[in-house]
Amino acid sequence: MAIELNKPALRHARALIRDGKVVRDERDDWSEAAPSAAEENAFIESEGWTEYSHWHLGVDRDEDGRTKKAYTFPFGDFRKVHRSGVISGESRAGQYDHDEIRDALKSLLELIDAE
């Protein structure tokens, strides 16, 4: 498993934050804010896999890009970036030595908190 930074997703997240599409919640709120499997499936059905990928900062290129297994480190609810998702992802990325993803999430958090 070779998870790498999903650069289009990072650009998407930065644009959303610049546009004010952010929920400034706390870390523990992510368990409630994260999309459910049913919400993910509905989003994929209506928007497709490319759009789905843009909501995940991690991508495993060894996996089929038309499966959820290929994407990790979600940061929003398909409408807005959630501060809680960014914080949660940064912690998990650091824990599993995904330094580039951790650093990208840290930069997103700094961008959110600077607003």
Dihedral pair phi/psi, residue 96, rounded to 5°: -105, 20
Place of tokens 């030595």: 97
**Residues in the chain, total:** 115
Q: Is 7 helix (H, G, I), strand (E, B) or coil?
A: helix
End-to-end CA, the chain: 36
Cα 43 from Cα 14, distance rounded (Å): 21
Q: Could you tell me if 79 and 22 are in contact, meaning their C-beta atoms sit under 8 angstroms apart?
A: no
- Tens digit of pLDDT per residue, the chain (115 long)? 689 999 999 999 999 999 999 999 988 899 999 999 999 999 999 999 999 999 999 999 999 999 999 999 999 999 999 999 999 999 999 999 999 999 999 999 999 999 7
